[in-house]
Structure formats: structure tokens, C-alpha cells
Amino acid sequence: MHPRKPYVLQSDGVSSRIRGPREPSRIVVCDDDTGLRELLCDILRDQRYRTESCEDGVEALESIRRESAAVLITDLDMPRMSGEELCERVRAMPDGARMAIIAISGFTRARLRGAQGRFDLRLQKPIDLAALLDYLDAETGATKV
């Protein structure tokens, strides 16, 4: 178990979001679905985040070992290393408890609830982008003008 508290989502919609200047937070996006992974990275870059795209848990873990990230967004079901195993390994790293980890999955809500406690936020596919961006704003200290 990690020391982070769960986040309560309050969504106001993507279109109302305007941000002021800030240092871009690094977000690692890990999903074996290339289209979804690249789309998420594009959206996050448009929102002034710095992203890295990883196709599986092994690649994401190597990326985080090279350079710390503020947030990890990971699918649960992937080849070579699942999102659940990735989360456990990241949490065991020296800075792992401070990293926000978001699970995204096509699994049912019951399966996502089963992952409760491991992840700071769990989103079912298709992803609620407003909820994701609201969470990232709060987690990274993004400013709105």
C-alpha cells in the first residue's frame, strides 16, 4: 500500500480548460494499443505535458528508471509485463510512492475495482478525457487562468 490518498473526480469538461505557463510534467503512457497510446500522448502534449510512449511494462519500467516521471498511465493487460506488475515494481522504487499511477483498461468495472489500492485512479476504456485531465491538473499542480 502506498501513502497517496484517492482522488475525487469533479469534471468540468475538456473545452473549458485554459492553462497558464508552467514547467511541463513528464508523463509515461504505457499501452500495447498503439493508436490509443499515441492519441493519449498527442492530447497530453497539446495540454503542455511532456510524454513518453511505451508499448509494454518492460519498456515503461526502463523509461522510469532512466528518468523519473510525475505520472504513469498504464493499461492493465499487456504482453511481457502487466500494468499491475509494472505498478508494483514502480512503487518499490525510491521515488515510486510519489508517482501518480493511473490504470486504464477495457476490463469490467469489477476487475478495475479489484485493482483498488494499487492505483491512484482507475479509468475504464473508452477513457473519460475530462476526468483524466482534471486529475492530471490536480496531481501536477497545473494552473488555470
Domain 24-139, CATH class in plain words: alpha beta
User: Is residue 23 over pLDDT 50?
Assistant: yes
9 band by pLDDT with thresholds 50, 70 and 90: very low
70 in Cβ contact with 90 (< 8 Å) = no
17 band by pLDDT with thresholds 50, 70 and 90: very low
**Beta-sheet pairing, 50-54 with 121-124:** unpaired
Q: pLDDT for 40-63, tens place per residue? A: 999 999 999 999 999 999 999 999
Q: What angle do CA 19, 25, 29 make, to 5 degrees?
A: 110
Name residues whose C-beta falls within 8 Å of residue 7's C-beta, 6 or more positions apart in sequence: 120, 121, 135, 138, 139
C-alpha grid cell, residue 79? 504482453
